[in-house]
Amino acid sequence: SQTIHQWPATLVQPVGSPLSLECTVEGTSNPNLYWYRQAAGRGLQLLFYSVGIGQISSEVPQNLSASRPQDRQFILSSKKLLLSDSGFYLCAWDTGTANTGELFFGEGSRLTVL
Amino acid sequence: AQSVTQLDSHVSVSEGTPVLLRCNYSSSYSPSLFWYVQHPNKGLQLLLKYTSAATLVKGINGFEAEFKKSETSFHLTKPSAHMSDAAEYFCVVSDRPSGGSYIPTFGRGTSLIVHP
């Protein structure tokens, strides 16, 4: 069966420090991968999605970047965090070119920037 | 372009009473529609989905939704609320322009509050 792992679950970082959140999917090949952010009391904001290795689409210009070094690995990064980067980050995947629109989510990473 | 509107940011019900969470969508194609539930500090879990089959869709935990194309709606209902239903609910529309991959669009969410 397919599983998705996302880590770390909780992170407290000072302003100006770097960030790396990792997500891996097991049990499937060629998935589409997504990073969403959920600010307090707000809905989900799509940050990045990827349809293949090295292929990243950015939905919102900002302080963050994403990379997909392997088929089932998706990394969210920042060189210098801002206070406004605080939030709940969710990684998700779907079945790629044969997808139906259904997403499968990780458990999320809570980032607090102080 | 596609969009989705969840008409209520908060819905408050008493335990044992019906639940109605409203969702309207727009899409230039034949969309798929989904409802997800999110408990605090957790990822999202699929409740149910509509993908052009039966318009009345049954999901987990007693929830169901009806796709009404004429009203562009996909409201979520449950006959009797349980305390464990208290959570955030997201309506999602997803279509596939030009035969490419589906890209989902999320509503802003509805917080369901259940009183004892």
Q: Does B24 touch chain A (CB under 8 A)?
A: no
Q: Does A108 touch chain B (CB under 8 A)?
A: yes
Provide the pLDDT for residue A2: 85
Provide the pLDDT for residue B104: 86
Residue A60 has pLDDT above 90, yes or no: no
Provide the pLDDT for residue B84: 95
Provide the pLDDT for residue B41: 85
Q: Does B103 touch chain A (CB under 8 A)?
A: yes
Average pLDDT score over residue span A13-17: 97
What are B20's two structure tokens? 């109605």
Provide the pLDDT for residue B28: 79
The residue among B64, B61, B17, B20 whose CA lies nearest residue B39 is: B61
Which chain A residues contact residue B8 at CB under 8 A? none
Residue A56 has pLDDT above 90, yes or no: yes
The residue among B101, B81, B90, B13 whose CA lies nearest residue B45 is: B90
Picking from B42, B43, B94, the nearest residue to A101 by CB comes out as: B94
Which one has a higher pLDDT value, A43 or A29? A29
B15-46 exposure pattern, b = at least 16 Cβ within 10 A, e = fewer: eeeebebbbbbebeeebbbbbbbbeeebbbeb
A94 vs B102: CB contact, 8 Å cut-off?
A: yes
In chain A, which residue's Cα lies nearest the Cα of B34? A102
Q: Which of A100, A104, A109 to mutate to test the interface with B (most CBs of B within 10 A)?
A: A100
Provide the pLDDT for residue B2: 83
Provide the pLDDT for residue A20: 97
Which chain B residues contact residue A40 at CB under 8 A? none
Residue A63 has pLDDT above 80, yes or no: yes
pLDDT by residue (tens digit) across A31-54? 999 999 998 767 888 899 999 999
Per-residue pLDDT of chain B (116 residues; tens, 9 = 90+): 788 999 999 999 999 999 999 999 998 777 889 999 999 888 999 999 998 778 899 999 999 999 999 999 999 999 999 999 999 999 999 887 666 667 788 999 999 999 99
Provide the pLDDT for residue A43: 81
Provide the pLDDT for residue B53: 76
Q: Does B39 touch chain A (CB under 8 A)?
A: no
Instruction: State the CB neighbour count (10 A cutoff) for residue A10.
Output: 11
The residue among A49, A42, A33, A22 whose CA lies nearest residue A87 is: A42
